[in-house]
Structure formats: C-alpha cells, structure tokens
Amino acid sequence: MKILLLGNPNSGKSTLFNSLTGLRQKVGNFPGVTVDQKSGTMTFQGQQHEIVDFPGIYSIYPKSAEEQVVYNALNALNPQEEPCIGLVVVDASNLERGLFLFSQLADLQIPLVLAINMVDLAERNGVEIKQDVLEMELANTPVVLMNARVGLGKDRLLKALQHQMEHGLKETYFSVSQGMIALEDISLQEQDAEKRFQKASELFHKSVITRTRSKEKSSLDGILTHPILGYFFFALILIGLFQAVFTLSSFPMDAIEQGFHWVSDYLSGLLPKGPFQELVCNGIIPGISGVLVFIPQIALLFFFIALLEDSGYMARAVFLMDRLVRPFGMNGRSVVPLLSSMACAIPGIMATRGIPNPKERLITLFVAPLMSCSARIPVYTLIISVVIPSKTVLGFVQLQGLVLFALYLLGIVAALTVAWVMQQVLRQDRRSLYLIEIPEFKPPHWRNILMTVFDKIKVFVLEAGGIILALSIVIWAVSNYGPTAERKTALRVLKQQEAYISAQNDERERLESSVLLEHSYLGKFGKGIEPIIAPLGYDWKIGIAIGSSFLAREVFVGTLSTIYAHAETSGSYRLKDKLLQEKKADGSKKFTLASGISLMVFYVFALQCLSTLAVARRETGSWRIPIIQLLLFGAMAYGGAFLCYQLF
Amino acid sequence: MPYFCNMKLSAIPKWGKAKIKEINHPLLRTKLLEMGVVPGVEITLMMRAPFQGPIAFQCGNTNISVRSEDADFIIVN
C-alpha cells in the first residue's frame, strides 16, 4: 500500500523517512516541476509498501512551488482505486499547528496515523502530551509518540500503520469542511482556516499541559546572530568550507583522474589498434573520468551544507544575509550556493534547490556560473604569468596577485549586476513571502547528512552525467578527426622539416600531434572563427583552445601546449616562454598585455563548461535557461574582451 | 521588558514582549495563522538583523522570522 509522508517543516520528517526506508529510496522530480520527490520502499510483515516523502507544509493550501506539489498530489488522489494511508508527522513542541495540518488532512477522508515526533525536546521545553486524551478524541486515528532520531517508537508506528492498512478508519473529529477549497478562493480558505484553528486549539488545550518555563536566552544565538559577531562567524564558516572543499577534494580528484588514465593506458595495450580502441581509450574513458571527477567537490560541499542545515545554523545564516542580497532579487538562502560556485558552479547550482521562491532560485542559479570557479585558476595564472610583470605596487602589493583578485571581483560584480537586471525584468510571484522558521540547534544527525550527500551524487551522475559524457565524446571526436587527405599531406610536410628530423622520439610525437590538431575539425573551427575573434586579439590557436575549453576550462592550458609544441623557442620548453616569444609577421609580439587581459576577461564571463550547462538543464527542467546563459554570457565575454583589447 | 502596545511588530526592541493584535496583509495573515500565530498570542522579539533586515520572534516553542517591511503589517497590543 502507498504511504504518504506529510508534515510540518522541521518536524523530523526526513529522519523518519530515512529510518523507515534505509537505502531503499530514490530521488526524482515531481511531475513538471523541479522539486525533489523522494520515495522508497519498506517491508514489514512480509509485505512491501511504497512511501512518498512530500515537502514540509503548514497547510494543504500552497504558498510556494514546493507546497503546490503537495496540493496537486492530494488533489489527484483517488482512494477508491488506489488506497493509501497518510502518515502525519508533527513536532511535539509545536503540536497546535501540527494538529491544524492534521485536521485538513483528516477532512480529506484519507486514513491517517499521527506521529508526534521529537518528544524528548518537547519534554525539555515543558510540554507534556496526554496521549490517552488525544486517542480518545481522535477515535479513528492511532497516535504514536516517538523520537525518530534515536528510533524510539518505531515499532509502535509500524503497528499503527498495520492497523490502518487493515481497517482504513477515517477521522471525523474535525469535520470543518469536506474536500478541497478552490485554490483561488482565498477568503473561503481563510474562513476555513480560522474555524480549523479554533478546533485544533481546543484539542491542543485538552491534551497538552504546558509548564511555562522562563526560557533562558540562548547564548549561542546571542553570538551567532549578533549584528557584528554573527557576520564574523559566518565568514569564518565560509572560509573553512572553502578551504575544505579546495584542499580535501584535490586528492580524490587527482586519484580519479590518475585511475582512469591508468585504465585507459591499460586498455589501449589490450585492445587492437583502430578507431574502436581510440574511441574507448581517448573518448569514453576520459569522458567518464570527466564526470566522476566532480564527485569529491559535490560530496564535500553537500556534506557541509547538510551539516549546516541539519544543525539549524543555516536558518541563522539566511536570516543574517537576507538583507544584503535582497536588492539583487535573491534570498538569504542564495548566499551559500552563490559562494560555493567559487569552488565549482556545479554543486552551487545543485544547491539552489533549497531556495523556496522560484524567481529568487532562478536568479541565483542563472548568475552562479559568473562566479570564478577553481577551473579558471590555471587559465588565469598562465596568462597572468605571461602578460603581467612580477613586481610590487604601492610598496607591498604583488601586482600579479592583485590582477587575480580583480578577476574574481569582476566575476562577483558581473553576477550581482545580472541578478539586479533580472530582478527588474522578471515578474514577481505574487505569493512570494519570506517567512522562515528558525529551528532550535540540534546535534547533527549523521545518517541524514550522508543520505543527502549520497542523493546529490546519484542525481548528478545519473541525470547530468550522460549528457556530459556524450558532449565530451563529441569534442574529443572533432579534435581528433579531420579530413584524412589533408592530415596526411600535413604530416608528410612535417616529416621533411629539419626540426622534425633532428628531434628525439617523444619530441617527434609532440610535433605530430600538434600538426594533427591543427588539421582536425576543431582546428578548422579555430581557423574558421579567427575573423570573429581577431578583434579580441586572438588567433586561431587561441580559438582552438577556447573551443576545447568546453570540456573543462583548465583544458585550455593543455590544448595550448599541444598547439605550441612546434613553436620555435630559444631552448625553452615552457609554454609561458613560447607564448612570450611568438612574433607576428611584422616582428612585433603576438601575445601582448592587451590580448592577455582580453583573454582573461573572456574567461571571467564566458560559460565554457558542458557540465554546468548539463546541470542547469537538470535543475530547470529544460534547455532554455542553459542556452540563454550560454548566449548571454558569451556576448558579455565577447563585448568585455573586445573593450579590453581596444583599451589596453 | 515592558509590554508594547499599539505599535508595529517591526518597532519592538530586542527581548520586547507583546500580544498580536492584527495582521493587515491577507497572505501573511493566512500563513501566520497556519503556523499558529493568531491575534491574542504572546510573542517575544528574539533577533534583529542589522540595516532593517529580517526580525525573528518567538511564539510558543518556535522562532519565526519575517522581513521587517512585512512586520510593518503586524500590529501588536
């Protein structure tokens, strides 16, 4: 039988869901919207049952996209054809409003079980619940007092569910109204809510004894939401988060890349030489590696985000940051996704799922790729080392470091500007309201946190991984294949050159791959777009490198080294020196300050990342937003680079 | 802390106590009602974010945070 898990936010619903289903759960989207739908199976007494975990709600009448999902699902129920049970989870410390929601569900004529959760916290809050009174009044509903975090009351809950499955009793205590009120009829909803609240309140006062305790002012909140110290603390937490994501993820990321490199080498020895071997070893395996390499960053970031959420700190951070990002059409909840995009936009975009308001979520998701991510660092540092002199300005500031800082700042300013424009242009959902509950601090529940991390990895690999893999194979193919006759001629010409004949074996290989890349389809693309990118100060070589960057931005550096393999240099193999020494036909330097700055600005704006596009598609449900992002940020990159090249 | 009468919720200082009188914003009224905040209920102002940022008040065993411009619609007695 189908069990619907419904309840207030912060009532411990997810903990209960995890405890009932264990690992037998799957995440997906509710039909038509990008709201997580979690469902799972549980077996007891030899029978398997499906549990659907719904977003937390205070009422069945929706005020946000997440809540709309619950309304739609309840509206579509057909108990005659598909019997189901509602498991209503309420917070014992806030039973009054829990009973309010319960009353709405009871009047829908679904057999219910009432699980009153977190009874330990309630006791500490001076709340005593008389279960016998509740059970007497709610004659047709089993009532279970429990604490899902430690598994207390789980057996009683299973028995209660079993009981309802056998008897299917419908609760008649409230009977305020029958069925659902039309979504548009706000005034009728309000009248209904008032009557309902009175009834729920009556029942609450009958069944609960509250010993008013003078609540001591929480000293932790005194610091964590202090007007000055609070921000200081938040900054500390963010710095710690970045350090961790950067440093801890680099080792597993290297290991994944090394591991797949090894597999690819091993297989290339094993498989017969030919197009199939090349496809497997150079196309598919590096493509899979390119998907899996994001897992460490996603795992670490969501580990920290889930930790902040589960402990109750996140709501405080949202509270503190809301005012700062509101002028840009965002919500306090946008801050963590936006800042985590400085490590990588992929987990950043995935984290926007926590923003309840669709407009604020869209804005945050849209501008996230403008924050300079860690994949841009190799590009920035290479070009800085080529065009920016290593000297100190103002006595102590390193000029190269200053430029790097300016690039990051440019990304942030661009993100906020685009957000501000979107805030002006997009229509506001009239039902949008910032109204959040700040939960009590709790020690984190590790199982919940690990489940979140696991879910996010699964979603990324299964739902974005395929697209990333397919597109990276396309890029590999165009950079490795080209018109055969032309490639043969080019290789023949190369083999007659003095430099090739006098070169060592591995140097010869480098020269060959350079020529082959020049005469590949990607090479053709680079040469084809040369007239378009010439006003930015780039030639076809940079064109190729930009094209290959779509795999991942840092590929820029590797592609350039391949192309420049045969560049004449006075004894240096360093890419930096080759770029510096390259001359135009008239003898002037090819790679100038102007073209360098133009290129860096291009990389600040341009959305050259297949994986980001694939994740944005997954999170918005269509290609529309990623295509707009690609075009808009591309135009900004072109415009900015053009301006810089002309100015410097 | 004294009780505050006939003023906007947004104007109550930190740790100030008051009773909700009315909420002059239909959507906010319904939503707060669903969360258990109804006229007559006692609240304590718990947190205030700087620069006219959100405020948070305690009602029963829960802390609820609203933006201060929305709190202008909530009148306490």
Name the strands in the sheet holding B55-59, side by side, starting at the edge strand that comes first in the sequence. Answer: A435-438, B62-66, B55-59, B42-48, B17-23, B74-76, B7-8
Look at A312-321, A418-427, A509-518 and tell me which has the smallest mean pLDDT.
A509-518
Sign of torsion, CA A235 A238 A240 A242? negative
- Return the H-helix or E-strand segment holding A235: helix A229-270
- Closest to A370 in 3D by CA, of A409, A396, A399, A420: A409
Higher pLDDT, A476 or A245: A476
Buried b or exposed e, range A164-192, using 16+ CB within 10 angstroms: bbeeeebbebbebbeeebeeeeeeebbeb
pLDDT at A40: 92
Interface membership of B53 toward A (CB under 8 Å):
yes
Q: Which of residues 20-39 of B touch A (CB under 8 A)?
A: 26-36, 38
pLDDT at A430: 56
pLDDT per residue as tens digits for the range A612-641: 999 999 999 899 999 999 999 999 999 999
Confidence of residue A602 (pLDDT cuts 50, 70, 90): very high
Confidence of residue A408 (pLDDT cuts 50, 70, 90): very high
Please return the burial class of A642, using the count of CB atoms within 10 Å of its CB with bins 0-12, 13-18 and 19+.
middle
Question: Which residue has tokens 């295509």?
Answer: A627
- Residue A284: CA atoms inside 13 Å, Cβ hemisphere, count? 10
pLDDT at A504: 80
Confidence of residue A457 (pLDDT cuts 50, 70, 90): very high
The gap between the terminal CA atoms of chain B, to the nearest Å, is 15
Residues comprising chain A, all counted: 648
Measured between CA atoms, the residue of chain A closest to residue B34 is A58
- Closest to A478 in 3D by CA, of A525, A510, A541: A525
Confidence of residue A564 (pLDDT cuts 50, 70, 90): confident
For residue A405, how many other CB atoms are within 10 A of its CB?
12
With residues binned 3-state (H G I as helix, E B as strand, rest as coil), the percentages for chain B, rounded to 5, are 20, 40, 40
Highest mean pLDDT among A153-167, A483-497, A548-562, A570-584: A153-167
| Beta carbon pairs, A and B, within 8 Å | 106
Region at A621 (left for phi over 0; alpha for psi -120 to 50; beta for the rest):
left
- Closest to A215 in 3D by CA, of B8, B63, B28: B63
Average pLDDT (A484-492) is 89
pLDDT at A214: 54
Look at A431-435, A515-519, B60-64 and tell me which has the smallest mean pLDDT.
A431-435
For A96, the token pair is 């009054």
ipTM for the assembly: 0.93
Query: Taking 80 as the threshold, does the pLDDT of residue B16 lie above it?
Result: yes
For residue A616, how many other CB atoms are within 10 A of its CB?
30
Are B61 and A315 within 8 A, CB to CB? no
List Cβ neighbours of A358 (8 Å cut-off, separation of 6 or more).
Answer: A65, A429
Higher pLDDT, A143 or A512: A143
Best A323, A324, A333, A430 member to test B by mutation, with max B CBs in 10 Å, is A323
For residue A457, how many other CB atoms are within 10 A of its CB?
17
Domains of chain A: 2-210 (3.40.50.300), 229-374+418-452 (no CATH), 459-647 (no CATH)
Partners of A396 in the β-ladder: none
Q: Which of residues 421-440 of A touch B (CB under 8 A)?
A: 431, 433-439
Question: Least CB-CB distance to A58: which of B34, B38, B46?
Answer: B34
What is the rounded distance in angstroms from the CA atom of residue A273 to the CA atom of residue A267?
A: 10
pLDDT per residue as tens digits for the range A181-240: 888 888 888 889 999 999 999 999 999 998 866 555 567 888 899 989 999 999 999 888
Q: What percent of chain A has pLDDT over 70?
A: 96
Q: What is the mean pLDDT of chain A?
A: 88
Highest mean pLDDT among A181-190, A409-418, A537-546, B46-55: A409-418
For A21, the token pair is 């289903």
Average pLDDT (A396-405) is 87
Interface membership of A123 toward B (CB under 8 Å):
no
pLDDT at A343: 84
Measured between CA atoms, the residue of chain B closest to residue A63 is B31
Query: Taking 70 as the threshold, does the pLDDT of residue A585 lie above it?
Result: no
pLDDT at A334: 92
Asked if B37 and B59 count as a contact pair (C-beta separation under 8 A), the reply is yes
CATH of segment(s) B7-76: 2.30.30.90
Q: Which DSSP string do the residues of A351-403 spell out, in sequence order?
A: HGGG--SHHHHHHHHHHGGGSPPGGGHHHHHHHHHHHS---EETTTEEHHHHH
What is the rounded distance in angstroms from the CA atom of residue B34 to the CA atom of residue B51?
A: 29
